[in-house]
Every structure is written in structure tokens, then in C-alpha cells.
Structure 1
Amino acid sequence: MPAGRTLERLLADCRLSAVHLEMRDVYTLNDPKFDAWQAGHRIDLDDRSSWWRPWLQNIVNTVARSVEDRRARIVSEPVSSYIRYEYDITVPNLRAGEQVRWLPRRRATDLALPGNDFWSFDDAEVTVELVSGHLTITQPHEIALYAGAFAELAALAVYGKVARALITKAIQAVDG
């Protein structure tokens, strides 16, 4: 992130749209919540205090300002255990107002996508997520490339009941 600019601050300053593209099948294997999920713990959607976290309030605040908050996830099939975990914990994001779409990697092969995950804010700034940090892009012609990639992907990706069916089918393929 730029010096002094956290993701929370970038969202707070956003006025039109925030988009996030995720393309990896695993993000962290040293996460106690992921470990608990693997051991069988599931969030209780009826007990908001058990799953509500500060990040979700950022989404609520962003959407309350009429900012469109969208996320797209490209996933391999069969889905990894981490993607299964992400799928299970996405409901709170949806309840907070984030629009989350899913796209099988096999359907993304014709798209010109960047090599790394990224955030885009108001089509004015892109933050590329690197292994050891972030890269901030502010040149309009470069931002347009990221915006175009996300738009193409979002047009192909699915959400809601269709996404549930896609992920469920991919999980069933793994589980037999």
C-alpha cells in the first residue's frame, strides 16, 4: 500500500467502485481460522458475533455510501480446501453488501488477466498484491487495462445460486 494508505483508508476514500480480483487457490496456510475450519468448525450464521469482524464493517460503510463493492474469484477445479473454506466464509461478505462472483479457471483462459491479484478504487488507482508488498498504479492507461480485465471476467463469472451450484459440483467431484 502507499505510505500511510491502508486498504481500509482506500475503501473509506472510495466514491464510486471498489473491485478486487483474487486468482490464487491458497492464500495462507498458517491461519488459525482455516485450521479450525479444516477440523470441522463452521461459522454459525445465526450468531453474528461469532463471525462479524472489523473488515466487514468497512464493506458495510462503503456500500452505505452507494459505492459498488465487487470481488471476483478465479478458482481451479477441483477446488482446493482453501477455496472451499473461502466459499464457506463468504456469506458474511455478502451480508455486508459485497458482490462476490466466481469463475472456473478453465473459463478464464481466453482472458488477458494480470499476473497478480489486485484492488481497483474508482478506476483511479490500482493496488497490485505482490508476495512481499504492494504496487500502486495511477497511470490512466494502465488502470484501464486492469478495469477491462475485471469487466471481462465479471461478465463471465457467476454469483448467487449459480455460483453455489458451481462450487457444490466442484466439491462433490473431490469428495466423490
Structure 2
Amino acid sequence: MKPPAREPLARARHSAIHLEVRDQYASTDPDFLEWRAGRRTFTPDNRAHWWEGWHDAVHAAVARGVSVRRARVVSEPLTEYVRWEYAYALTNVAAGEQVRWLPRRRAADLAVPAVDFWVFDGALVLFHHFSGDGVLTEREYVEDPTLATWCVEAFDTVWRRATPHEEYEPV
């Protein structure tokens, strides 16, 4: 499998945007399983438990002036997995990401790709392809200016309509 988003994020100069459109990802994630078992470890006061390489990469990018934004289109009521993502999002925010949430019912009139993607500096698109049960099967990097522009425009449309993490109340 090709390298993860961390590598292009390390090269980004201006922006990194990430759109997530799934309600379920691989349910074997150890952190998800801990959370599911009732161990709520994602609190600001126990940063040593959850700060990982991804958080370092985001923090470094933001420190050098890169805007890192993540938007999630979600079904309500939220799936158990997306409830965990909501709980875990405080780690993304702590690292410097801006996170927003858009209920799927408010996205019905939007033209949005049916797959999760990243766009780095408005040029490099990284599509994440998943199996039906949420396992990442492929990372597809595409350098196509027309496609990149469309993905950025789709993301920006979602972003404008979405609710900032700090204001979103899960249903």
C-alpha cells in the first residue's frame, strides 16, 4: 500500500483538507475497542496516552503555517463508530486541526465525492478506498488539476455548511 497521508502532509506548504463520508470504518481499531469497552481515555489531561505520530505531523504542519481542516458528513443518529470519532476529535483539535461536522440530511443537495479524500495544497488528491466493512483497501494518489479543484470546491461547500466541532452536539 502506498504511503499514508502523513508524508504529503509533511511536504504541504499551505493547506491540507480531508473529507470523510463514511459512517463506519474498521471496527478493530484498538482505541475504538477501548472506548467501546467504556475506557474513555481521550481527555485533554492525559495527552501522553493518545498523542501519536499523526498528531506530531499535524502539529508540525500547522506550526509551519499549513491550514489543516477535516470535515465529516455523518448520519444521525450517529453510529457507534462515529460517536467514538467525535470523542477522539479532541485529539485532532489539540494537534491543530480544524474539525467540522455536517449531518447527512443537510448535505442532500451537495455534489460530493462518494469516497474519503485529502487534497494537499490544492493539487495532490489522495483518495481512500474502503471495503464494505470499513477496512482501508487502497490509497490512490492523483495529480489532476481539474479533479483537485473539484474536490476542493466540494470540500469548501461542505465546510461552509458544517458545524465546528466545538459547537456540534451529536445526535
User: What is the TM-score normalised by the length of structure 1?
Assistant: 0.89
What is the count of residue pairs matched by the alignment?
164
Equivalent position SS for 1:47:
helix
**Partner deviation per Cα, 1:80-103 (whole Å, 9 max, x = no partner):** 000110111111110110000000
Q: CA deviation at 1:77?
A: 0.6
Higher helix share: 1
Identity of aligned residues (%): 42
Give unmatched runs, 5+ long, in structure 2: 131-136
The 1-side partners of 2:165 and 2:34 are apart by 26
| Contact 1:17 1:67 (C-alpha < 8 Å) held by counterparts | yes
Separation in structure 2 between the aligned mates of residue 129 and residue 116 of structure 1, nearest angstrom: 7
1:45–1:51 Cα contact (<8 Å) kept: no
Paired letter, 1:76: S
SS of the residue corresponding to residue 79 of structure 1 reads coil
Q: Is 1:146 aligned to 2:145, yes or no?
A: no
Contact 2:4 2:139 in 1 (8 A): no
Give matches, 1:79-118, under 5 Å: 79-118=78-117
Q: For residues 1-176 of structure 1, what are the structure 2 equivalents within 5 Å? A: 5-43=3-41, 44-131=43-130, 132-163=137-168, 165=169, 167=170, 170=171
Deviations 1:125-148 (A, max 9, x none): 101111221222211111111011
**Rounded Cα–Cα distance in structure 1 between residues aligned with 2:89 and 2:70:** 11
* Contact in 1 for aligned 2:50/2:91 (Cα 8 Å): yes
Alpha-carbon displacement from aligned partner over 1:111-161 (angstroms, at most 9, x marks no partner): 001110000000011011112212222111111110110010001001144
**Who wins on radius of gyration, i.e. which is larger?**
1
* Structure 1 residue runs without a partner (length 5+): 171-176
Give the structure-2-normalised TM-score: 0.91
Look up the SS of the partner of 2:141 in the other structure. Answer: strand
